[in-house]
Structure 1
Amino acid sequence: MPAFALEPEQTAWCARLRTLAAQRLRPLADKGEPGRVNRPLVAELGRLGLISRLFDSGALALCLMRESLAYACTEAETALALQGLGAHPVHAHGTPAQRERWLPRVADGTAIAAFALSEPGAGSDAAALALRADGEKAEDAQGAGTRRDAALGGGPVAEADGPRRWRLTGEKCWISNAPEADFYTVFARTTPGAGARGVTAFLVPADRPGLTGTALEMLSPHPLGTLGLDAVPVTADDVLGETDRGFRVAMGTLNLFRPSVGAFAVGMAQAALDATLDHTRRRDAFGGKLMDLQTVAHQVAEMALRTEAARLMVYAAATAYDAAAPDVPRRAAMAKLLATETAQYVVDTAVQLHGARALRRGHLLEHLYREVRAPRIYEGASEVQRGIIAKELYATHAASHTPREAP
């Protein structure tokens, strides 16, 4: 399928999603408490079968879901995306036991997942993680008594050739769904001084001793918080993927979700554009309609141009991911960068064309204006995306061009 075309069935599905978001999800979102996990909303996403589609569909389907939901209910879109972000490492790298325990509950909306990567000193620079995973040799763990085994639900340790147990110590910050999630995908440093190569991903249930959290109040009232880890016990059974290979888990997850962040942005941009078309077509100004002013018409045309260009790049990146193309990191970075920067422009222009009414609390554009800012930062800020793009371009160029010696 060409990256720029959708099948009629996909187009119809997107229309159904927008209707569901407006009629069934919007009322639940309105009843939610700002800054808290809206469990009834997540449960409804589960009943509608949308969360399970995160795991049995590709990147393009994820983008279509996020764009369609964002158009009518950004809260539902965000709740869906956070379930996917937190649980995707379990789906892609978890053991059969981990998957069996958590994924059915995530899919039906009864377990809340969270992706715990960022730290106070390591946001966009994910390789600089400082949260420690202090390992214990098997003989040390065996001598620590049965209290720890009871806390972990595990049995005796039989191997002595390396760490089988760790204690996680440090802090995570800007973690979505914290501190209310039921489990966290936590990235910790298992090998000091090894950069990206010394990070391990752990599945940490929220009831582990030593795990605490505090909610944060943000510009857009999403569930977001900090986590404190005070010698939180984990074992080899909690590892996602391989020890010291957690950076690969993180980047694989972000390569999938970055284009879909762009889809979220496109959905918001389209909602702002449609609101602007309706407003400028009806609004009387200077003896005619606002749309009759050339400066207004040209701004609306620019909004539409940029929104469509961003949409096509998002679809292209998602299609590349589904085809396992080698240039996914570059395409994912480009899609997120263009779409989030575009949405910021489109929403801001929409506010300007609406005037003061768009700044009134409760107006669609007031809501979108608060929502649209964060995607330019999370899952890699725009500046980070530009760095990824440049790095990939130079690597591709170096691999395909033999430098000529100077005469």
Structure 2
Amino acid sequence: MIDRTFLDWPFFEERHRELAEALEAWCARHLPVDHGDVDAACRALVALLGAGGWLRHSGAAAGERLDVRSLCLIRETLARHDGLADFAFAMQGLGMGAVSLFGTGAQREWLGRTRAGAAIAGFALTEPGSGSDVAATTTTATQVQGGFVLNGEKTYISNGGIADVYVVFARTGEAPGARGLSAFLLPADAPGVEVVERIAVIAPHPLAHLRFADVALPEAALIGRAGDGFKIAMAVLDVFRSTVGAAALGFARRALDEAVTRVKARQIGGAPLANLQMVQGHIADMALEVDAAALLVYRAAWTKDMGAARVTREAAMAKLYATEAAQRIIDMAVQLHGGDGVRQGMVVESLYREIRALRIYEGASDVQRVVIARAVLA
């Protein structure tokens, strides 16, 4: 059984414990879903999460603030049950994060749809030549009478090809580098938006390479102020990086649970594998890393919820440690399963493929190390 004693930690309020219990029961009834057709599965999951009311937590209503602890609890729980369900939930939040934090009343109409599960969101930041280096963005939004004209390409865009709306970051030229970027709300069916390629990865998710060719954007598509795109992107990541750590934590908890079940049941020399001291040592290390990751994730979430303007350092620590630790935990779970650990259809084999991307997206591990080091040195 999954250890749920962490819910008694002082990071949480009673409403968080009630949320976790209700979601656990919902997941037991609805997850996992069939992943045979990934696009269809994601569409179904968004609708299911919307109907269940869980997507209300993916964005904040006007006058409200995002509850990061709730976001993290939801992502951890969903990831433990079904990695694709976590993805579907997370992208509704990340995709519309800029609108949730900085959007106008009219723009927030899209947020109402994504929170209800009636529309799918995408976050278009990464480019073929700029991943971690956001300042190297080359997509342009040229101002013209009545709005802007968008040109450029984005790649590895989650929900690319199935999204109804994207938040796109483009260069508007107010200043060099990161200070000359802006954020725009773009309906996926706008003329000039093209899905160039669907991208297949080791843990199937809907990803695409997008091209924008003379896409006309009205002035009302601008999110926040022109030139504030980098600040907006970093503010969104400041919230959602902690939740990536939470998803990794969910994967790690599931791997530990699968490993414990395996070593208790598997016999070697007429006794359970769990009787071997070396195996016990591995289980102890895995449990230690799970708790350490949880403490960092929920410290970052609690700090943000308590009103901190920025939690860049805390979120970077949470994402870095939780994702790297989850990789180690899952790898050991595979090892403890022996040959079955790499057999298709086994839970730990799926987790092994799911975890790898979390050490890359929303700031690769080495980028998080730079962020942490700069914060400490400052």
Do these two structures clear the TM 0.5 threshold for a shared fold by scoring above it? Answer: yes
TM-score, length of structure 2 as denominator length: 0.93
CA contact (8 A) 1:21 1:76 kept: no
Distance 1:3 1:251, change over 3 A: farther
Match of 1:38 among 21, 39, 42: 42
Match of 2:272 in 1: 289
What displacement does 1:192 show? 7.3
* Conservation of the 8 A alpha-carbon contact between 1:255 and 1:328: yes
**1:71 paired to 2:80:** yes
Which runs of no fewer than 5 residues in structure 1 stay unpaired?
Answer: 139-156, 158-164, 396-407
In structure 1, what is the equivalent of residue 31 of structure 2? 25
Q: What SS is found at the alignment partner of 1:52?
A: helix
Given candidates 6, 10, 17, the residue that maps to 2:12 is 6
Asked whether the 8 Å contact 1:66–1:267 carries over to 2, the reply is yes
**Which residue of structure 1 lines up, in the alignment, with residue 3 of structure 2?**
none
Q: 1:142 maps to what in 2? A: none
Match of 1:110 in 2: 118
Q: How does 1:73-152 map to 2 (within 5 A)?
A: 73-100=82-109, 102-136=110-144, 138=145
1:240 Cα offset (Å): 0.5
> For the Cα contact (< 8 Å) 1:4–1:315, is it kept in 2?
no
- How many angstroms apart in 2 are the aligned matches of 1:287 and 1:294? 15
The separation in 1 between residues aligned to 2:353 and 2:231, in whole angstroms, is 32
Cα 1:2–1:364 change in 2 (3 A) is: closer
Asked if residue 381 in structure 1 is aligned to residue 358 in structure 2, the reply is no
Give CA-to-partner distance per residue, 1:242-295, whole Å, 9 cap, x none: 101011110111010000000000000000001111111111012311111111
Contact 1:37 1:223 (8 Å CA) reproduced: no
Counterpart in the other structure of 1:217:
200
Q: Secondary structure at the match of 2:226?
A: coil
Alignment of 1:199 onto 2:203: no
Contact 1:198 1:245 in 2 (8 A): yes
Q: Given that residues 115 and 184 in structure 1 are in contact (C-alpha distance below 8 angstroms), is that contact kept between their aligned partners in structure 2?
A: yes
Q: Deviations over 1:175-232 (max 9, x none)?
A: 0000211010000001076111000000010111110013111111011111101111
Q: Which residue identity lines up with residue 366 of structure 2 in the other structure?
A: E
Other structure's SS at 1:172 match: strand
The CA deviation at 1:326 is: 5.1
Whether the 8 Å contact between 1:330 and 1:389 is mirrored in structure 2 is yes
CA distance in 2, matches of 1:2, 1:387: 33
Match of 1:307 among 266, 290, 307: 290
Q: CA deviation at 1:91?
A: 1.6
Query: Are the structure 2 counterparts of residues 176 and 274 from structure 1 closer, same or farther at C-alpha, using a change threshold of 3 Å?
Result: same
Residue type of the alignment partner of 1:211: V
Secondary structure at the aligned position of 2:131 is classed as coil
Say if 2:64 is the partner of 1:55: no
The Cα of 1:3 is off from its aligned counterpart by: 7.0
Structure label with greater radius of gyration:
1
Query: Cα distance 1:286–1:173, how it changes in 2: closer, same or farther (>3 A)?
Result: same
Letter of the 2:183 counterpart: A
Q: Please tell me the residue identity of whatever aligns with 1:40.
A: A
Tell me how far 1:21 sits from its aligned partner. Answer: 1.6
Q: What amino acid maps onto 2:171 in structure 1?
A: R
**Matched residue of 1:208: which SS?**
coil
- Alignment equivalent of 1:252, drawn from 197, 214, 235: 235
Identical amino acids, percent of aligned pairs:
45
User: 1:182 maps to what in 2?
Assistant: 164
Q: In structure 2, which of residues 334, 340, 343 is the aligned counterpart of residue 351 of structure 1?
A: 334
Deviations 1:149-176 (A, max 9, x none): xxxxxxxx4xxxxxxx221111100000
Is the Cα–Cα contact under 8 Å of residues 66 and 264 in structure 1 kept in the other structure? Answer: yes
Q: Is the 8 A contact 1:25 1:44 kept in 2?
A: no
Once residues 206 and 8 of structure 1 are traced to their aligned partners in structure 2, the CA distance between those partners, rounded to angstroms, is 40
Whether the 8 Å contact between 1:135 and 1:190 is mirrored in structure 2 is: yes
Residue 69 of structure 1 aligns with an amino acid whose one-letter code is: L
| CA distance 1:204–1:269, change in 2 (3 Å) | same
Q: CA deviation at 1:345?
A: 0.4
8 Å CA contact retained: 2:11, 2:302? no
Native 8 Å contact 1:265 1:340 kept in 2: yes
Q: Secondary structure at the match of 1:174?
A: strand
Q: Is the 8 A contact 1:171 1:227 kept in 2?
A: yes
Q: Distance in 1 between matches of 2:250 and 2:192?
A: 40
User: 1:315 offset after TM fit, Å?
Assistant: 0.2
Aligned mates of 1:370, 1:331 — CA distance in 2: 26
Question: What does residue 173 of structure 1 align with?
Answer: 155
Note the C-alpha offset of 1:16.
Answer: 2.9
> CA contact under 8 A between 2:42 and 2:85: conserved in structure 1?
no
Contact 2:23 2:74 (8 Å CA) reproduced? yes
Please give the alpha-carbon distance, in whole angstroms, between the structure 2 residues aligned to 1:381 and 1:37. 27
| Equivalences for residues 254-273 of structure 1 within 5 A | 254-273=237-256
Q: Secondary structure at the match of 2:48?
A: helix
* Contact 1:35–1:223 under 8 Å retained in 2: yes
Gaps of 5+ in 2: 1-6, 61-65
Which amino acid is 2:23 matched to? Answer: L
Per the TM alignment, residue 122 of structure 1 is displaced from its structure 2 partner at its CA by: 0.6
Q: Is the 8 A contact 1:182 1:206 kept in 2?
A: yes
2:21 corresponds in structure 1 to 15
